[in-house]
A and B are shown apart, each in its own frame.
Chain A
């Protein structure tokens, strides 16, 4: 039972991550790779604040998310000028830079040794130590974020984003400050990614840079693409499938040195085939972005 709850908690956290990426890629049509860097920043910020300054995790999470959005703004700056694959390359590059910094700046982040003993969240003085309590909490947060983002996307802001996705030059010609919108959506996406990263850190109580590697970015991307770009429900579905299905494979009992590469192979192949034959994923509406 604990195992199932653990999986559900991970699904919730990854749902937040994939929703936060979907608003950038699916709704605004900005092909941003390297999303895990935002989660990394949020996770490390709140963990370091909690470990070194005894800050309460809630405040740490919030600050972590803010710092992630600052990174989002930094990433957005070159992104608004670049097109298509150059943009992807630049965002991927920046994501790797963040990862390398996290790995190498050992005096701050303890590098590959990671941070351990991260305090868990507590609610009104009562530490959340049971799996089921955490599960309810993260799902509550995830649902709140879902509703928030859904509302945001239905407002004029969201509509402009979709118009930018379809044709950003047309949107500009209609007088919309496209660069400002792109910047804002990066802020939003990065904020929630940072939040998700912190949730992850305070749950697992241990993080190291490899939890947020390039592969992680690709995994989140796969969740978005599989579930359907441009639909929040799709992102949640994608997160669910990508987390759950490899766990099912675990019961097949393959040895680890076979299972790990096999899993990545499936991710890679799925991404490629999806993108070729069903780019709108399971629940998506748009064809190409």
Chain B
């Protein structure tokens, strides 16, 4: 039962970042690896804000104040993450888009930015693990023989609501339709009067802010270290690919699969194997079904 619960929690974490990554990939058609760094930026911004309000080991017993402070740090983290994401797009990706660079080049540039940002954080905050806690350590609640903490409950709720929110927006809202138009074809979108650059900027801000939120949420539960972004991002990417690029339910499905596989591997195999297994699954999917389980996106010719 605990295994099932852990799987669900892992899946939701992966879903969180998988969704935000997915919306960027959907619109821009390349792997924004630096997204993992934005996630880390969000987490460390949360740390920074928390440290601002609460000096080092002060414990605030009052739950509602805790929630306020957590909320504030999450909010500010989202804003900062959104700004960072937008900057990355404007400064680095836009020139590449203007020159119609092949996707591999975007990937390399993105990787470079990821390394840069990750080490920038390591420079400022040091490589050691930090934690983000201002309340007393609480026992989780018991649920049918398994333990779940309030933060984990919040993560599940949050990822589900983001999923629902994004699905609705993409399908019904005007901006969602604009995003879909740009995702299909930049040129066609501009013909009907949509400015692809503005939409892409919006998508980056939205996706990055969500990543920042993921960062804060996860770091409330687990500790922070500068390299936290890579592993989570990779799993998010795998989830998005095997679930199906271009479809949010696909990301959900992919995240579930990866969450379950990951936790099964942790329970039954020596530690650290789960990363390798997840990657092997990725490679298998890329080889045999690159559009994922629910994918609709057809690769354009040429």
Contact = CB atoms under 8 A, between A and B. Distances in A.
Interface string B214-239: 00000000000010000000100100
Given A96-B276, A104-B272, A31 B104 contact: yes
B283 A269 contact: no
Interface in B84-110: 92, 95-96, 101-109
A271 B111 contact: yes
B-side binding surface: helix, strand, loop or mixed?
helix
A-side binding surface: helix, strand, loop or mixed?
helix
The bracket for how many chain A residues form the interface is: 35 or more
A261 B120 contact: yes
Contacts of B126: 257
B120 A265 contact: yes
Contacts of A277: 95
A122 interface: no
Interface residues of B, number: 46
Interface in B277-302: 279-280, 282-283, 286-287, 290, 299
Interface stretch (A6-14, A83-91, A156-164, A181-189): A83-91
B178 to A, nearest CB: 25
B227 to A, nearest CB: 10
Contacts of B114: 268
Nearest to B117: A268
A84 B290 contact: no
A265 B104 contact: no
Interface in B123-153: 123, 126-127
Contacts of A82: 286-287, 290
26 contacts: A82-B286, A82-B290, A83-B299, A84-B102, A85-B30, A89-B31, A89-B107, A89-B286, A90-B282, A90-B286, A90-B287, A93-B283, A96-B276, A97-B280, A104-B273, A261-B122, A261-B123, A264-B115, A264-B116, A265-B119, A265-B120, A268-B111, A268-B112, A268-B113, A268-B114, A288-B105
